[in-house]
């Protein structure tokens, strides 16, 4: 793989407002690989893989969120191929079940 993998946790009012669908649409349109899912604590978790500038831009966009969301905090860590490979086989970007 050429590029970076970032593991992102987003907190705030990010569930029930279309945040996951918004993330998936933007990530797909930017050619990123990865996944997004809700967490039982009310946060949204995502993994983005691709060119460093594109992944950084996606993370910056996540800090704003869609108009219906309120983002209070975004935590970004370096991800790895094990995290990336949680996506569904054959999909570039997946919705995963809530954990």
Active site residues: 20, 38
**Integer CA distances (angstroms), 55 to 15, 30, 70, in order:** 22, 9, 21
Q: What tokens appear for 29 in the block?
A: 């349109």
Contact 47, 75 (CB under 8 A): no
Strand order in the sheet with 93-95: 70-78, 4-13, 44-50, 33-38, 93-95
């Amino acid at each position: 793989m050429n590029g970076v993998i970032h593991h992102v946790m987003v907190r705030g009012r990010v569930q029930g407002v279309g945040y996951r669908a918004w993330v998936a649409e933007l990530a797909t349109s930017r050619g990123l690989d990865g996944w997004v899912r809700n967490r039982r604590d009310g946060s949204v978790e995502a993994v983005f893989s691709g060119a460093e500038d594109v992944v950084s831009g996606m993370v910056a966009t996540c800090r704003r969120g869609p108009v219906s969301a309120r983002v209070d905090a975004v935590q970004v860590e370096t991800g790895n191929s094990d995290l990336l490979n949680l996506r569904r086989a054959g999909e570039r970007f997946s919705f995963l079940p809530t954990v």
